[in-house]
Amino acid sequence: MIPPGATLGLLGGGQLGRMFTMAAQRMGYRVAVLDPGLHSPAGDVADEHILADYDDPEGLAHLARSCAAATTEFENVPAEALRFLAQYCVVSPAADSVAVAQDRIREKEFLAGAGFEVTPFAVIREGTELEGFGAGMLYPGILKVSRFGYDGKGQASVAGPAEALRAWRAMGGEPCVLEKRMSLAAEVSVVVARDFAGRVCTFPVAENQHRHGILDVSIVPARVPETLAEQARSVAVAVAQALDYRGVLCVEMFVLGDGRLLVNEIAPRPHNSGHYTLDACVTSQFEQQVRVLAGLPLGDPGLHCPAVMVNLLGDLWAHGEPDWRLVLEHPRAKLHLYGKREARPRRKMGHYTVLADSVEAALSTALAIKERLERSSRAAPAQPARA
């Protein structure tokens, strides 16, 4: 066990890192964040901000000297950085696990090879492969760049080979995955925690709705049969075990009309769809991340009550700071802003969570707040946006 008072290291300065940092500090730990941005959500609240790139030797050496353990808040940190740190301190998750999740080709091949059902796909490394026999069975489909795609970036819906070729060229001819577009009944996700002794627990299943490829609303518990929810939790645990994963992991899944579950993506970190755990669960996904990293017992992931989480994107700041009274006038609504200094369209700036005695009540209130915020943003007089 790493006792409180020790320093925990974090690669990445985004909002996930900010929430990890706050959870760790609440439990008595210091946090050192390595991030290249002068101002970042996590760096601004950390005990120490190491201003360096993720593969900077001096920055990594500084982090290794400072920390008893280290983790990451996003999957695109170089796996080699984690391997370097593992020579000097506890690291969670391991580099090999992150290397799988940060590359869609490796991820799909790992999942399929381990026996998990996935969307039919083809690996595309050359433009000519977009009209091959295998790819021809996948249209209409979604072309996704293998590395560094997120929140709808680096992907395109394609109806056929010609459109796919144009999209592939627009992505710089990078290796891609072409997935068949499926008819879905729902999208769900499960956040799972697995510690160094192999103990595991899962958070309640979230039902997710996306807009422009970005998570918009998460509904908890998911409005699916309990048998399917239990199956989703079992799949998430099996994925963590197959990866020999240590840490907090999110497994995103598609629910087909016939009730089948397909594994869509895995994220080797806490996840946007798990933000409801901050307000609605006994232990949040971020506290769980601290517990695993520090060798502490896993916390209870149980749900206090139904909850709905809504993302707040930079579009709402088009005419200045939104009127947060529209959220906070609801006594069971909880507002979380990430401290980002520049609001841009489709950039995640915060979220709010509505708690209620039923899913229906939470969803009704959450959507009413969302509508009022969007209407207020459109109607607001022009004024300077947040600097």
Q: Is 153 assigned to a binding site?
A: yes
SS3 call for 70: strand
Q: Is 336 assigned to a binding site?
A: no
**40, HSE (Cβ side, Cα atoms, 13 Å):** 27
Q: Is 87 assigned to a binding site?
A: no
Please give the order of strands across the beta sheet that includes 121-124. Answer: 121-124, 176-180, 141-145, 155-158
Q: Is 212 assigned to a binding site?
A: no
3-state secondary structure 285-302: HHHHHHHHHHCCCCCCCC
**CA separation for the pair 157, 141 (Å, rounded):** 6
**41, HSE (Cβ side, Cα atoms, 13 Å):** 21
Q: Is 275 assigned to a binding site?
A: no
Q: Which of 83, 86, 34 is nearest to 56 (CA)?
A: 34
Distances (CA, A) of 161 to 128, 149, 288: 9, 21, 44
Contact 279, 300 (CB under 8 A): no
**CA separation for the pair 274, 190 (Å, rounded):** 8
Burial (CB < 10 A; 0-12, 13-18, 19+), residue 336, is middle
Q: Is 348 assigned to a binding site?
A: no
Q: Is 252 assigned to a binding site?
A: no
Give the amino acid at 334: K
Q: Is 383 assigned to a binding site?
A: no
3-state secondary structure 106-169: HHHHHHHHCCCCECCEEEECCHHHHHCHHHHCCCCEEEEECECCCCCCCEEEECCHHHHHHHHH
Q: Is 199 assigned to a binding site?
A: no
Q: Is 180 assigned to a binding site?
A: no
Contact 109, 100 (CB under 8 A): no
Query: What are the two backbone dihedrals, phi and then psi, of residue 310, each rounded to the nearest 5 degrees?
Result: -125, 130
**CA separation for the pair 47, 230 (Å, rounded):** 40
Q: Is 80 assigned to a binding site?
A: no
Q: Is 287 assigned to a binding site?
A: no
Q: Is 187 assigned to a binding site?
A: yes
Q: Which of 209, 210, 190 is nearest to 200 (CA)?
A: 190
Q: Which of 307, 310, 315, 322 is nearest to 357 (CA)?
A: 307
Binding-site positions: 104, 144, 149-155, 187, 210, 264-265
Residue positions forming the annotated binding site for ATP: 104, 144, 149-155, 187, 210, 264-265
